Structure 1
Amino acid sequence: MSAPTENTTSAAGAPVDLGDPGFHTDPYARYEELRARGRLIPVEFPFKGRTAWVIPHYQDARAVLADKRMLNDPSPLFPSGRRGAGNMRLQLLEESGVPREYSRYLVDASILDMDAPDHTRIRKLVSRAFTVKRVNALRPRVEEITDALLDALPGHAEDGAVDLIEHFAYPLPITVICELVGVPEEERSAWRDWGRKLFRLDDQGLRADALIGIAEQSKALIAERRSTPADDLMTALIRAHDEDGGRLSDDELVSLVLTLILAGHETTAHLIGNGTLALLTHPDQLHLLRTEPDIGPRAVHELMRWCGPIHGTRLRYASEDMEVNGLRLTRGHAYIALLGSANSDPAEFPDPRRLDLSREPAGRRESHMGFGHGAHYCLGAALARQEGEVAFTRLFDRYPGLSLAVPPSELRREPLPLSWRLAELPVRTG
């Protein structure tokens, strides 16, 4: 079988630039345009002139993410079969100055870029930490951390305003995930800084330094836990590596530590930021949250649908020429399920841009795809939902007079493709 060829855009029109400012000022208007344009839209993969294809419709995106023929790792499609072969993300990392010895932790050994059976093997090892029972047991500690952060908010105010992203939305999830994994308190601020730098696009040197710092710190933490085991996830992963038949390689162990910590706080932080802004600008829905004591879980689902921070999946590669839900996909071509567009598709959600905290039915079911779908559905979704529920309910209970300190039009979004992130959220507590 020959190696995959470059994508072509012959009949589909010019590629869309995902770095266009319109995707950050009003992404949902752009998504409406894309859905009207077709079911497969060529896009310029961020900033390097490569082409991928986005899938903007809900049913198409769901079908593609559920299809086992779609690969996160394209290397089997290339003659060498070498890990990373044909992977656009790896190419971008290397062009950003990230040494290959470190980029492997984000690609080659990452559970996020693996397919079965390796993905299945590692997911089973980690999933025990995120069962509903384990997550429910964490709730009292999540509430304790939340209350302490809320008590401290007024002390961070400058001219009567406090940045909720800096002093609440970020500290809550990073504290929770670091305690779960086993990162000492004195080292957590470094992880937070590295995480922010890793998602920057304006300084490649900072991104490379951040990844190196994360990888080296992960190795140091693993060495420390080997000598001093504890009741945490890192100790359990080390045992899986050292004692349990070598079910984790050295690189996989390092990659898991950094992936769990980064993924365990970045998305949740921006769900809290986006959701708080949505509630402050929709007083009828904020009133519903305050007066309906059982609506918290449903509210988090709707906020994740309406203003979730992740608007696109990682690249998926077609393992063969194939048809999915009537879409013709080409072997070796790269595809992105456009989650932000899928979650605002009127064919699935009536009046999709209307915020309605009662939209989702009660129970654990979710119809949105804010946490993805299929084999790579977010492993920590239950924890993120719980943190969101606690954050929103406790925040507005503690500060019923919470208000924006600036007009919504003055708020800045971070220019990261396929994401929806506030740079800051200045508020007044009363």
Structure 2
Amino acid sequence: MTGAALPEIDVSDAQVLLDPFAAYREARERAPLARLLVPGMGEMWAVTRHEEARAMLGDARFELNSGSYLTPPGIPEDCKAYLRTMQEKDGPEHTRLRGLVAPAFTARRALAFRPKMERIVEALLDTLPVSGPVDLLRDFAKPLPMDVICELVGVPAADRPQWREYGSMVASGFGKGFVEAIPAIMAGAKAVVAERRREPADDLVSELIGVQAEDGDRLSDVELVTLVWHLVLAGQTPANLIANGVVALFEHPEQLAALRADDGLAPGAVDELMRWCGPQLLTTPRFPAEDVEFGGTVIPRGTAVTAAIVSANRDPRVFADPDRLDITRAGAAAHLGFAYGPHFCLAAALARVQAEVALTGLFRRFPKLAPEGEPHRTPDPGTWRLGALPVTL
């Protein structure tokens, strides 16, 4: 098969934006690769099948470079040194940083942090008005990750309401608010790092300041501030996952009833929701350093390639009856919602526990929780997300 013969997907097409699952399903069953038509960008290919997507994400020939990320205009020069996160780095540079920080993000550490997340969730639920419709995205799903990040890194309590605002601005995508939030986030992160160097506490920044590799290597202040920025960006994943998950469970009342009846189903439910309606549709583009034969097609050197998570996570070659939501599904954790390989999401364990605590806490607190009209979905070719989630409690 040649590149010209591949199925094509126009990511700006209204039907694709409204139902990317159907569009990518059709392409996946025709070929393991598809050509993406992305307005304003050059040629991009998508790997549509699970096995091939996983192989690409673990293949060192597919590199991240400056074309992998877009930086919105207007960002102050003194902030740019902190914007290139670990996800934008490859090779020894990435390996070094990952080795220094990964021990702080294990599944065991996420479970140890769970009681604090439970207190944060309960405090947020306490603020929801019991009468009248509530926008669950605005009032619960969005502020939760920022509250968790503030607790994790040690942002002072007095500053946390402002950090919620920053999180909301970042979650809105590239634009005026996104650009305006960056200097404030960087200034706050610098202040936290400086304070923890003077006076360590029981938080992530203090722990990472104390980390030293066998060769004496340590994280610099720039790297610590950049990590905080990385967490702010990554924090949008659980916000969107929680909102998407609530909608999915509303639409599948038998699944919601099962989860309400048994909190022990929550870990599997989160993985199944991540597989079935996870927010990230496409991975960060990678670029082959050489011509690579992949899925029966030669991908030319330097061509942008993404893994279509939206397609791979519903690949019938891996998941039986993949378009069916089943929170008891065996093997749901094989999803690629947190990517795969060297750039597997650093905070995946934290995101999983956060979503578990949020969903079980929400449905336990409000047994009559119900949708109030239709959820408002935001058209976005890269993220399956809502603009609002009106409910009655």
- Give me the TM-score of the superposition, normalised by structure 2: 0.91
Question: What are structure 2's unaligned runs of at least 5 residues?
Answer: none
Question: What are structure 1's unaligned runs of at least 5 residues?
Answer: 1-8, 74-83
* Deviation string, structure 1 residues 21-57 (Cα, Å, up to 9, x no partner): 3333211111123224432222244x42322111111
Report whether the alignment pairs 1:174 with 2:146: yes
Residues 302 and 360 of structure 1 are in contact (CA less than 8 Å); yes or no, is this contact kept in structure 2?
A: no
State the match for 2:359 in structure 1: 392
Counterpart of 1:140 in structure 2: which amino acid? P
Task: Quote the offset at 1:199 in angstroms.
Answer: 4.6
Residues 24 and 413 of structure 1 are in contact (CA less than 8 Å); yes or no, is this contact kept in structure 2?
A: no
Matches of 1:249 and 1:370, distance apart in 2: 30
Matches of 2:111 and 2:68, distance apart in 1: 38
Residues 88 and 65 (structure 1), Cα distance of their counterparts in 2 relative to 1, 3 Å cut: closer
Report whether the alignment pairs 1:18 with 2:11: yes
Residues 88 and 128 (structure 1), Cα distance of their counterparts in 2 relative to 1, 3 Å cut: closer
* Deviation string, structure 1 residues 338-395 (Cα, Å, up to 9, x no partner): 101111122222221111111135xxx8211111111111111111111111222221
Relative to structure 2, which stretch is displaced further, 268-277 or 162-171? 162-171
State the match for 1:78 in structure 2: none
Residues 301 and 360 of structure 1 are in contact (CA less than 8 Å); yes or no, is this contact kept in structure 2?
A: no
Matches of 1:22 and 1:190, distance apart in 2: 37
Task: Quote the offset at 1:397 in angstroms.
Answer: 1.6
Report whether the alignment pairs 1:414 with 2:378: yes
Q: Once the two structures are aligned, what percentage of the paired residues are identical? A: 45
State the match for 2:71 in structure 1: 93
Task: Quote the offset at 1:101 in angstroms.
Answer: 4.5
State the match for 1:259 in structure 2: 230
Counterpart selection for 2:33 from 40, 45, 48: 40
State the match for 1:6 in structure 2: none
- Give me the TM-score of the superposition, normalised by structure 1: 0.83
Residues 140 and 207 (structure 1), Cα distance of their counterparts in 2 relative to 1, 3 Å cut: closer
Residues 288 and 300 of structure 2 are in contact (CA less than 8 Å); yes or no, is this contact kept in structure 1?
A: yes
Counterpart of 2:42 in structure 1: which amino acid? R
Task: Quote the offset at 1:146 in angstroms.
Answer: 1.7
What secondary structure does 2:57 align onto? helix
Give the total of aligned pairs. 392
Matches of 1:199 and 1:290, distance apart in 2: 29
Counterpart selection for 2:204 from 233, 258, 263: 233
Residues 182 and 422 (structure 1), Cα distance of their counterparts in 2 relative to 1, 3 Å cut: same
Residues 305 and 393 (structure 1), Cα distance of their counterparts in 2 relative to 1, 3 Å cut: same
Residues 163 and 200 (structure 1), Cα distance of their counterparts in 2 relative to 1, 3 Å cut: closer
Residues 252 and 301 (structure 1), Cα distance of their counterparts in 2 relative to 1, 3 Å cut: same
Question: How well do the aligned residues superpose, as a CA RMSD in angstroms?
Answer: 2.6
Residues 11 and 17 of structure 2 are in contact (CA less than 8 Å); yes or no, is this contact kept in structure 1?
A: no
Counterpart of 1:130 in structure 2: which amino acid? F
Residues 171 and 62 (structure 1), Cα distance of their counterparts in 2 relative to 1, 3 Å cut: same
* Deviation string, structure 1 residues 75-98 (Cα, Å, up to 9, x no partner): xxxxxxxxx4xx252xx425x333
Counterpart selection for 1:187 from 153, 159, 165: 159
Report whether the alignment pairs 1:223 with 2:194: yes
